[in-house]
Structure 1
Amino acid sequence: MYKKVELVPIPPWDFELANGSKLSPENRWVKMAQVIPWSEFESEYAQNFPTEMGAPAKSWRMALGALIIKEKLGISDRETVEQIRENPYLQYFIGHSSYSNELPFDPSLLVHFRQRISPNLINKVNERMVEKMRSITPVKHEKKKKDSDAKHESPNRGKLIIDATCAPADITYPTDLGLLNKARVHTEKIIDILYKQIKEQTSKKPRTYRNLARKNYLLIAKQRRPSRNKKRQAIKKQLQYIKRNLTHIEQLIELGATLERLNTKQYKTLLVLTEVYRQQQWLFDNNKQSIEDRIVSLSQPHIRPIVREKAGKSVEFGAKLSASCFEGYVFLDRMSWDNFNESGDLKAQVEAYHSFTGYYPESVHADRIYRTRENRAWCKEKGIRISGSPLGRPPANVSKEKKKQAAYDERIRNAIESKFGQGKRTFGLARIMAKLENTSRTAIAITFLVINLSTQGERILLNTVHQW
C-alpha cells in the first residue's frame, strides 16, 4: 500500500534538530535536494502499489534519495542506512522534517527500491533535473567571431558528444573450465536434495565422483599456463561429469523425487546450468570459441561478454552503454547486456538533443565508428558538422586550419571520456554490485544522475568563487 505524501519543500531552517540549531542552506545535500523534482514523479512511482492492502510503503523521495546517497558516497546498503541515521543533512535529503536517531528503514529495502524504480523513470528524473539546473546556471554558447557571418548563421547551436562504454559486473573472470566446475558442483547438490526424498525407497545413491572431478579440475586450474590441449581435455572430463549428473537427476525424478523441494534459486540455477552444459558441449564438439547468448556466470546469467578492444581489457563482462553529453551534462541513451554497434544510435541521440533543447547541435563529436556514410549524409542534411576527417583517401596537403579543427574536435571528446572516468573511479560504474538484471540497470542509471548532480555542485562552487 502506498500513501501519497504531499512533498511540500521544507526549508532547511525549519528542520528540527535536538539542540535547536539549524541546517545550513549552503550544504551540498540541501542544494542537491532543491534541484531534484521530487513531486513530479511520485504518482508514477505509486503505480508500483496497485492495491491498498499491506503495510504502508516508504515514500518516493525516501526511495530515490537513499539510492542517490548510496551511489554518491560509494558505500554498501547497510552503510547507507547507518550514514542516514547519523547525518541530519541526509535525513533532510530523503524528506524527514526532524532529526531521528533511529534507522529510517531496513537495509534490505534498498533492493526493493532498485526493483521498483525503473531506469526509464530515473532517466526522466535526470532530464527534468538537468532542465532545472540549466536554468540555474545557464551555459553561454559560443558567438560568431565575424559580423559578416551573421547573415549565414545556422539555427543549430551547441556541441553534442556521444560515445559508448561498458559497466562491468561484479563477477570473477569467467573461464570455460571454471564455469563447468561450478555447474558440476551445483548438480551434485541437487542430486543430494533429490536423493533424500526417495532415500527410503532405494538404498543406492547415484555415484557422482565429486572428489575425482574436483581433483581433475584443480590439476589444471592450479597450473600457471596450461596448454590448450590440457585445458580441452579437462573441459571434456567436466562435461562428462555434468552429463552423468544430469542423467542421475532425471532418473531420481522418475523414481518419485520432485523438483518442488528445490528453492527458487536452486531451481533457477538448474535451468541455467543445463543451458551452460548445452553451450559448452557445442563449443567443444565444434571446436569453437564463441556462441550466441553465451552465459558467463551461473548467478547472473544475463551478463554477456562485451568485446571492447581496449588496451589491457579486450573483453569486459557487463552492460554496454551508449551515452551523450552536452553542456557538461551526461545522459544514458541506451543500455543492453548484448553487444551492439553504437553507430546506429547517432540519429536517435541527435533527435533526443533536439527534443530536449529545441534545436539541433552545431556539431557532433564522436569517434571513428560513428562516422559512417549514412550518418554523415544525415548530419549534412540537418546542417550538422560531424567531427573527423572525410571518408576516402586523405589529401596530400592539409591546411593548418583543418589540423587545428581536428585537434580541437578531439579535445572536445575528452568531456564524455572524463564523465565515464568519473563514473568508474568516483562512483560505482566500474563494478556494478547489484546481482539482478533489473536492479543492475537501476544502479547504472542512478550513477548518471549522480554524475550530473556532482557537475551542478561544481558549477555552483565555481560561481561562488568567482563572486568572491
Structure 2
Amino acid sequence: MLNKPINTGQLSFLQPGLKEQLSNKHPLYLLADQINWSLFEESFRKHYKEDFGRPAKPIRLMVALLMLKHIRNLSDESVVEQWSENAYYQYFSGGQTFTAKEPCEASELVHFRNRIGAAGIELILKESIRINGKDGKEDRASIDTTVQEKNITYPTDSKLHRKIIKKCVSIAQKEGIVLRQSYSRTLKKLGIDQRFRNHPKNGAKARKADKKVKTIAGRLVRELQRKLPAESFSDELDLFQRVLRQKRQDSNKIYSLHEPDVVCISKGKEHKKYEFGSKVSITVTQNSGVIIGALNIPGNDYDGHTLDAALEQQQRLTGHTLKEAFVDRGYRGRKEVHGTLIHTPKTFSSKLTSYRKNKLKEGFSNRAGIEPKIGHLKADHRLSRNFYKGIKGDTINVMLAAAAMNFKRMMNIWKDNLLALIFRLIQIFTASATRPNYSSVIVY
C-alpha cells in the first residue's frame, strides 16, 4: 500500500525546514529540484496495491536512494547509513526536516529494485538523459562494448566440485537424509595434496587429488538422486550433473553455481585475459559525452550483432534517431542499422572529398573518448563488479551506473559554473581594491 503524500508546507514558525537551512548552490540541492519526481510516482504506482497491507516507503525516497548509491559508489548498507548523517541526502529524497535515523532496511532496496524491474530502471536512465537537455540529442555518437564482471571467484573445476559437495551435504542435512559417508576427513587430506600444484614434484599428486574430489562429488549427487523424492531439488541436482559432465573445451560451460548465466569473455587485455560476467553496450554522444544508451547483452555475441538492440534502446530513451555512429573494428560488417550509418575504421576511398575525410577522422578521434567514460563507469559508479542477482541484476546495474554518471555530469557542470562565478567576483573585487582613488588627489 502506498503511503500518504508528504505535506510540503511550512512545518513550524520557529524551526525552518531543510529547504531553508541548506545551501541552494549545492549540486545535490540543484539536482533534486531538476528531477521530475512525479514521473516516478505515477509510473510506479501500479506496483502497489491500494488500501492493502502496511504503508510502503515513499517512492521518491526509494528512487533517490538508488540514485545516491550509484552516484556516490556505495553499497545498500552504506547508503542507508549515510542517509541518516547527511542532510543533503535527505533533502534530495524529499525530506522536510532532518531525521537522525535510517530511512529503511538495506534489504528494502533489493525488494524495490525487483518490484520496478528493468523497465523502471530504464525510466530513471531516461530521466537522467532529459536532465542533460539538448546535449543528449546529438546526431553523432560512439558505441562500444565492455564486460561487467560478476561477483564470483575465479572459477576452477576443483572449486566447483568442492562447492557441489558442500551443497549436497547441506541438502542432506536439511531433508534429514543420512549420507553413506560425508568425506570430511578425506577432503581435508585431498586439500593438502591440491596445494602447490605448480611445483614440479606436486603436479601429479594435485591432478590425482582433483580427480578424487570430482569422484566424491559425483557419488554424493547420485546418492541424493536416489534418496530424494522425484521433483525435490531437481534443478539443483541437474545443475550439479551438468558441471560434472562438462569438459575443458566445451561451450556454454557453468562457471558459478549461484550465477549459472555467467559467461567467459576475452577482450584481448594484456593484464586480464578472461573476464567472467556479461557483455554490455554503451552509447555516448560524441561532443557532450552524455550516455544515451546502456544495455546488457546476455551471452557472448559478436559486437556487430549488438547494434540492433543498442540503437533500439537509444531511440526509445531519447526519441531521436542518430545520423552516424562510430565504432571500433570489432563491429566490422555493419553499415547501417535502423537508419543510422555505422562507421568502422578503414582505409578511405579515393572518391571521398577532403571535407568528408576530415569529418570522419574527427569522428574516429572522438570515438576514443568513450574508453575513459567506460573506465569512470567502472571505477566510480559500480560497473566494475556486479553484485546484483541474475540476468535481471546485470540489466539493472548497467543502467543505474549510466544514469548516475549522467546525473554526476550535470552536478559537475553546476559546480564548475559556481566556481567560475566566484572566481570572477574575486577578480572584480581585487581589481576595484587595487585601482587608485583619484578623487582624493589635490590639484595645485
Q: Report if TM-score (shorter chain) is over 0.5.
A: yes
Change (3 A) 1:185 1:132: closer
Change (3 A) 1:400 1:126: same
**Cα distance in 2 for residues equivalent to 1:349 and 1:76:** 28
Q: Match for residue 149 of structure 1?
A: none
Q: Match for residue 213 of structure 1?
A: 187
Q: Give the alignment partner of residue 177 of structure 1, picking from 137, 144, 158.
A: 158
Q: Give the alignment partner of residue 339 of structure 1, picking from 300, 308, 326.
A: 300
Q: Match for residue 380 of structure 2?
A: 426
Local SS of the residue matching 2:267: strand
How much has 1:131 moved relative to structure 2? Answer: 2.0
Q: Give the alignment partner of residue 245 of structure 1, picking from 194, 214, 220.
A: 220
Q: Residue 61 of structure 1 contacts residue 94 of structure 1 at CA under 8 Å; is this kept in 2?
A: yes
Amino acid at match of 2:185: N
Map 1:320-359 → 2, pairs under 5 A: 320-326=279-285, 327-350=288-311, 353=314
How much has 1:407 moved relative to structure 2? Answer: 5.1
Q: Residue 18 of structure 2 contacts residue 97 of structure 2 at CA under 8 Å; is this kept in 1?
A: no
Q: Residue 183 of structure 1 contacts residue 273 of structure 1 at CA under 8 Å; is this kept in 2?
A: no
Change (3 A) 1:7 1:451: farther
Q: Match for residue 34 of structure 2?
A: 35
**Cα distance in 2 for residues equivalent to 1:16 and 1:342:** 58
Q: Give the alignment partner of residue 162 of structure 1, picking from 143, 166, 189.
A: 143
Amino acid at match of 1:445: M
State whether structure 2 residue 214 is matched by structure 1 residue 276.
no
Q: Match for residue 5 of structure 1?
A: 5
**Cα distance in 2 for residues equivalent to 1:222 and 1:346:** 46
How much has 1:328 moved relative to structure 2? Answer: 1.5
Map 1:395-406 → 2, pairs under 5 A: none
Q: Match for residue 366 of structure 2?
A: 412
RMSD: 3.7
1:357-393 CA deviation, whole Å, 9 max, x = no partner? 6664443211012231xx22x36x9584724215xxx
Q: Match for residue 446 of structure 1?
A: 400
Q: Match for residue 129 of structure 2?
A: 130
Change (3 A) 1:347 1:29: same
Map 1:9-24 → 2, pairs under 5 A: 22-24=21-23
Local SS of the residue matching 1:323: strand
Q: Residue 84 of structure 2 contacts residue 100 of structure 2 at CA under 8 Å; is this kept in 1?
A: yes
Q: Residue 225 of structure 2 contacts residue 237 of structure 2 at CA under 8 Å; is this kept in 1?
A: no
- How many residue pairs are counted as aligned between the two chains? 418
Q: Residue 15 of structure 1 contacts residue 92 of structure 1 at CA under 8 Å; is this kept in 2?
A: no
**Cα distance in 1 for residues equivalent to 2:353 and 2:382:** 44
Change (3 A) 1:362 1:61: same
**Cα distance in 2 for residues equivalent to 1:367 and 1:19:** 49
Local SS of the residue matching 2:57: coil
Q: Residue 69 of structure 2 contacts residue 76 of structure 2 at CA under 8 Å; is this kept in 1?
A: yes
How much has 1:108 moved relative to structure 2? Answer: 2.2
- Greater displacement, 84-93 / 309-318: 309-318
Q: Match for residue 428 of structure 2?
A: none
Q: Match for residue 116 of structure 1?
A: 115
Q: Residue 18 of structure 2 contacts residue 98 of structure 2 at CA under 8 Å; is this kept in 1?
A: no
**Cα distance in 2 for residues equivalent to 1:354 and 1:443:** 20
State whether structure 2 residue 107 is matched by structure 1 residue 104.
no
**If the length of structure 2 is used for normalisation, what is the TM-score?**
0.81
**Cα distance in 1 for residues equivalent to 2:117 and 2:293:** 13
Q: Match for residue 388 of structure 1?
A: 345
**Cα distance in 2 for residues equivalent to 1:171 and 1:242:** 21
Local SS of the residue matching 2:300: coil
Q: Match for residue 69 of structure 1?
A: 68
Amino acid at match of 1:24: S
How much has 1:19 moved relative to structure 2? Answer: 10
**Cα distance in 2 for residues equivalent to 1:364 and 1:220:** 51
**If the length of structure 1 is used for normalisation, what is the TM-score?**
0.77
- Greater displacement, 175-184 / 68-77: 68-77
**Cα distance in 2 for residues equivalent to 1:70 and 1:110:** 10
Local SS of the residue matching 1:117: helix
Q: Give the alignment partner of residue 188 of structure 1, picking from 153, 169, 172.
A: 169
Gap regions ≥5 residues in structure 2: 425-444
- Greater displacement, 65-74 / 335-344: 335-344
How much has 1:109 moved relative to structure 2? Answer: 1.4
How much has 1:214 moved relative to structure 2? Answer: 3.8
Sequence identity percentage: 24
Local SS of the residue matching 1:324: strand
Amino acid at match of 1:63: M
How much has 1:401 moved relative to structure 2? Answer: 7.7
**Cα distance in 2 for residues equivalent to 1:251 and 1:387:** 57
Q: Residue 145 of structure 2 contacts residue 281 of structure 2 at CA under 8 Å; is this kept in 1?
A: yes
**Cα distance in 2 for residues equivalent to 1:369 and 1:451:** 25
Gap regions ≥5 residues in structure 1: 142-156, 200-204, 260-266
Amino acid at match of 1:368: R
Q: Residue 427 of structure 1 contacts residue 447 of structure 1 at CA under 8 Å; is this kept in 2?
A: yes
Q: Match for residue 83 of structure 1?
A: 82
Change (3 A) 1:406 1:211: farther
Q: Match for residue 146 of structure 1?
A: none
1:77-119 CA deviation, whole Å, 9 max, x = no partner? 2221221111111111111111111221122212212222322
Q: Residue 147 of structure 2 contacts residue 278 of structure 2 at CA under 8 Å; is this kept in 1?
A: yes
Q: Residue 331 of structure 2 contacts residue 344 of structure 2 at CA under 8 Å; is this kept in 1?
A: no
Local SS of the residue matching 1:410: helix
State whether structure 2 residue 330 is matched by structure 1 residue 369.
yes
**Cα distance in 2 for residues equivalent to 1:120 and 1:338:** 20
Q: Give the alignment partner of residue 265 of structure 2, picking from 306, 316, 319.
A: 306
**Cα distance in 2 for residues equivalent to 1:252 and 1:75:** 45
Change (3 A) 1:73 1:124: same
